[in-house]
Structure 1
Amino acid sequence: MIEVNIDGASAGNPGPSGAGILIKHNGEVEKYSIPLGIMDNHEAEFMACKKALEICLDKHPDTVWLKSDSQAVVHAIEKEFVRNAQYKQLLHDILDMTKQMDLFFIKWIPSKENKAADELARKAIHLN
């Protein structure tokens, strides 16, 4: 099983944004800070999820347990629905990727349990 922590961050809303991704697999840890350009915080959270799933499909397409402190992302994936039209295509892309995996789990976690992914996301903001 692959454990993935994600976080999206924006400096302003909208503003320069970044994705932080922490992947634990077979005792190894992979860290990613991905600049996302200008977007709002919710879009950065969805993009962090999408980027993480792209990495997982490329490297470890079996069982993925994704953890996020974004209730908006977690609820959208669980319900397979998002009200805001701006995020519908991102959610569609995310759901398509999860269906390509053998097993996919998602869990909301409090921000205090997601500090490593948050630091990676904030670092990515400065890479824009």
Structure 2
Amino acid sequence: MIEVYIDGASAGDPGPSGAGVFIKDGAGQVERYSIPLGLMSNHEAEYRALLAALQICIDKHYSVVSFRTDSKLVDEAIEKQYVKNKLFQPLLEEALLLIEKLDLFFIKWIPSNQNKTADELARKAIRSIDKQK
């Protein structure tokens, strides 16, 4: 099973944002992605990190995946297939459509201290935006 750690981060609310995606396969191989996202809220960055990671998994034909996030908002939205904030409804719908393309999908909330690599990758993406200015 493929383990996927995701995190979104923003330098401000809204502010320059980035997504971090850290993927581990059963053989110990790892992939790291730092994805600049532009200006958005931290919560939107968390959803964008989920969407980016789902698309990476689909593109790489990873069909059995277990996601880890330190965002309770994203974890609960996926588990309940519902969001309170209607601004996030299109992001949730897009995520659910991508999840349907996978054979098996799990998502689990983890504490931030267990998601440090994805967090570092998200912050690296923000720094790359700052360097482009």
Amino acid at match of 1:14: P
- Deviation of 1:18 after TM superposition, in Å, equals 0.1
The equivalent of 1:74 in structure 2 is 75
1:109 matched to which residue of 2?
Answer: 110
* Separation in structure 2 between the aligned mates of residue 61 and residue 117 of structure 1, nearest angstrom: 19
The answer to whether the 8 Å contact 1:2/1:60 transfers is no
Partner of 2:22: 22
TM-score scaled by structure 1? 0.98
Number of aligned residue pairs: give it: 128
1: CA distance, partners of 2:80 / 2:100: 14
Moved more, 69-78 or 57-66: 57-66
Q: CA RMSD in A?
A: 0.7
Matched, 1:85 2:86: yes
Q: Where in structure 2 are the equivalents of 1:1-128 lying within 5 Å?
A: 1-25=1-25, 26-128=27-129
TM-score by length of 2: 0.94
Q: Return the alpha-carbon distance in structure 2 between the equivalents of residues 56 and 117 of structure 1.
A: 16
Indicate the larger mover: 53-62 or 40-49.
53-62
Contact 2:9 2:45 in 1 (8 A): yes
CA contact (8 A) 2:63 2:104 kept: yes
Aligned equivalents of 1:126, 1:91: Cα separation in 2: 27
Letter in 1 for 2:112: S
- Give CA-to-partner distance per residue, 1:87-112, whole Å, 9 cap, x none: 11110010111111000000000000
SS of 1:94's partner is: helix
Shift of 1:30: 0.3
Residue segments in structure 1 that go unaligned for 5+ positions in a row: none
